[in-house]
Amino acid sequence: MVAPTLLSRRQPTQSLEISGFRERPDADGRLLGHFPYGEAQADQLIVFQPGIELNVQAAEALDTMMRSASADGVDLRLLSGFRSLALQESIFFDVASERNQTAEERAQVSAPPGYSEHSTGYAVDLGDGRAPETNLSQSFQDTDAFRWLQDHAARYHFVLSFPEGNNQGVMYEPWHWRYEGNADALRLFEPASRFTRRDP
């Protein structure tokens, strides 16, 4: 892993209007299943590896988790981390356009800008270095990396954000995990956690 380095302070980004988007947030704040999230401040982020930034504490936990996976013979790879609101807007609308989808159709498989866990710096997309063809695919669930995460991720405070059949109404994403190892993350994700918490 490349040694993390602190980033310079970024000007705060304003929430983005979703122009032409017919859907409106539900009473609980969700837009097509996705909860709203602000953008992490630059002084909370570090470069985890070239081109990928994460919250400082999430990065430390992920580094430890990846080292443990490696010791168990699992090649856990980080595919994506922090995304600015502007980047999420570009991804959301560019992909929708490329696939000839409406914004509403795109929201079934990708968070609208302002509604992505990635903007917090706590969310990661993970893959298996020995099965790159499963990257960002539901077939990731059949990899050694996913099986290892199911058995060990909670020890490092990582939780699967969108499990199969989740009540939040978001497509199953076995590759998408979020860090819940500090008070800020717990507060941010408490509304979403209510949808995945099991009854005692």
CATH number at residue 74: 3.30.1380.10
The pLDDT value given to residue 21: 64
The two three-digit tokens of residue 4, written as one number? 């993390």
| 125, 176 contact by CB (below 8 A) | yes
How many domains is the chain partitioned into structurally?
1
pLDDT in tens, the chain (200 residues): 434 433 333 333 333 446 556 777 887 888 888 999 999 999 999 999 999 999 999 999 999 999 999 999 999 999 999 999 988 888 877 765 676 776 667 766 678 889 999 999 999 999 999 999 999 999 999 999 999 999 999 999 999 999 998 888 888 999 999 999 999 999 999 999 987 754 44
User: Would you say residue 96 lies in a domain?
Assistant: yes
DSSP 113-145: TT--GGGGT-EEEEEETT-GGGTTSGGGGGSHH
Domain range holding 176?
42-196
User: Would you say residue 68 lies in a domain?
Assistant: yes
User: Would you say residue 9 lies in a domain?
Assistant: no
User: Would you say residue 166 lies in a domain?
Assistant: yes
- Stated pTM of the model: 0.84
User: Would you say residue 173 lies in a domain?
Assistant: yes
User: Would you say residue 86 lies in a domain?
Assistant: yes
DSSP H/E element including 46: strand 45-49
Q: How far, in Å, CA of 56 to CA of 116, rounded? A: 19
In 3D space, the residue among 143, 160, 166 whose CA is nearest the CA of residue 30 turns out to be 166
